[in-house]
């Protein structure tokens, strides 16, 4: 019976590992020096790195907020938080991210585990919506100004007509 439970636990662990490797969100684990200990395929895609090349690479330049969090946690303080900021792909392109991370461990064994999501599409959608609101507002404003100009022209016409009838 015990072997069956161990087999089921191993199967669940294997499935979880497969799920993490193929997840659509980036999963990254860094050591104290912001060197990648593990990264799934989505992390490689997000940072424009060839598959398997992130492990052993320092991400200090790509994800500077993580290196700063590791430095802040220098007194073995645990940190669990989220951050919205900017990251840099290996090709130099900057992009907005949302990340949830945790710093854990003690001394030189401190690590950071993070889930990182590229927010580029959401930012584009928000900017597109803001631009549409700006266009709608400008259209409304132009219509109001045009209406007021028409009113002024009518008033000037009436005043001119009155002045010409009084001078006769």
Q: Report the alpha-carbon distance of residue 82 to residue 71 in Å, rounded.
A: 16
Is it the case that residue 32 has pLDDT exceeding 70? yes
pTM of the model: 0.67
Judged against a pLDDT cut of 50, whether residue 41 lies above it is answered with: yes
β 94-104/26-30 pair status: unpaired
- Between CA 95 and CA 91, with CA 101 as vertex, the angle to 5 degrees is 25
**pLDDT (tens digit per residue) in 74-132:** 666 788 999 999 999 999 999 999 999 999 888 888 899 999 999 988 878 888 888 88
Q: What is the pLDDT of residues 51-77, one digit of tens each?
A: 889 999 999 999 999 988 888 766 667
């Amino acid at each position: 019976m015990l072997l069956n439970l161990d087999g089921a636990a191993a199967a669940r662990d294997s499935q979880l590992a497969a799920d993490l490797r193929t997840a659509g969100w980036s999963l990254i684990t860094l050591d104290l020096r912001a060197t990648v200990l593990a990264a799934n395929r989505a992390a490689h895609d997000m940072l424009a790195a060839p598959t398997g090349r992130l492990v052993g690479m320092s991400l200090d330049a790509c994800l500077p907020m993580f290196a700063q969090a590791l430095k802040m946690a220098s007194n073995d303080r645990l940190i669990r938080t989220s951050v919205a900021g900017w990251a840099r792909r290996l090709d130099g392109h900057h992009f907005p991210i949302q990340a949830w991370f945790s710093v854990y461990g003690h001394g030189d064994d401190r690590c950071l585990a993070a889930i990182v999501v590229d927010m580029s599409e959401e930012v584009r959608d928000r900017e597109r919506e803001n631009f549409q609101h700006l266009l709608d507002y400008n259209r409304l404003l132009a219509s109001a100004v045009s209406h007021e100009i028409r009113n002024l022209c009518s008033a000037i016409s009436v005043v001119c007509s009155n002045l010409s009838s009084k001078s006769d």
